[in-house]
Amino acid sequence: MKKDNQQPIKEAIELFVRQYGLENKLRSVKIEESWHQIVGDYVSKKTLNTREQAGVLFVSIESSELKNELLYAKSKIISSINEKIQENYLLDVRFI
């Protein structure tokens, strides 16, 4: 039988994240991880840096040709990342 002060581990972790104000950092990490999973190994290896800020994912790409190709897939990338993180948070991807 459960005691009243016991809670599922998921709830305890969510409470911890909220109490310490880690929601935004956790979301950023999920977005950056999702980027690598969605674009695959080839593009990931060509990615120099990623960072998320205020709903925008900034991605440094070494190849201008690859940047142009990714621009065509930008809306699909955004929707795939939002689906992966289960939030409609990411608004834009900027290739720099």
Count of the separate structural domains present in the chain: 1
Q: DSSP class of residue 88?
A: S
Q: Print the domain residue range for 58.
A: 9-95
Phi, psi of 59 (to 5 degrees): -125, 120
What residues form DSSP beta bridges with 57?
52, 93
- pLDDT tens, 43-57? 999 998 999 999 999
- Is 49 among the domain residues? yes
Q: Which residues contact 84 (CB under 8 A, 6 or more apart)?
A: 30, 34, 37, 38
- pLDDT tens, 9-65? 888 888 888 888 788 899 999 999 999 999 999 999 999 899 999 999 999 998 999
- Which parts of the chain fold into alpha helices (H)? 9-19, 23-46, 64-72, 74-85
- Is 3 among the domain residues? no
Residue 52's nearest CA partner among 25, 74, 73, 70 is 25
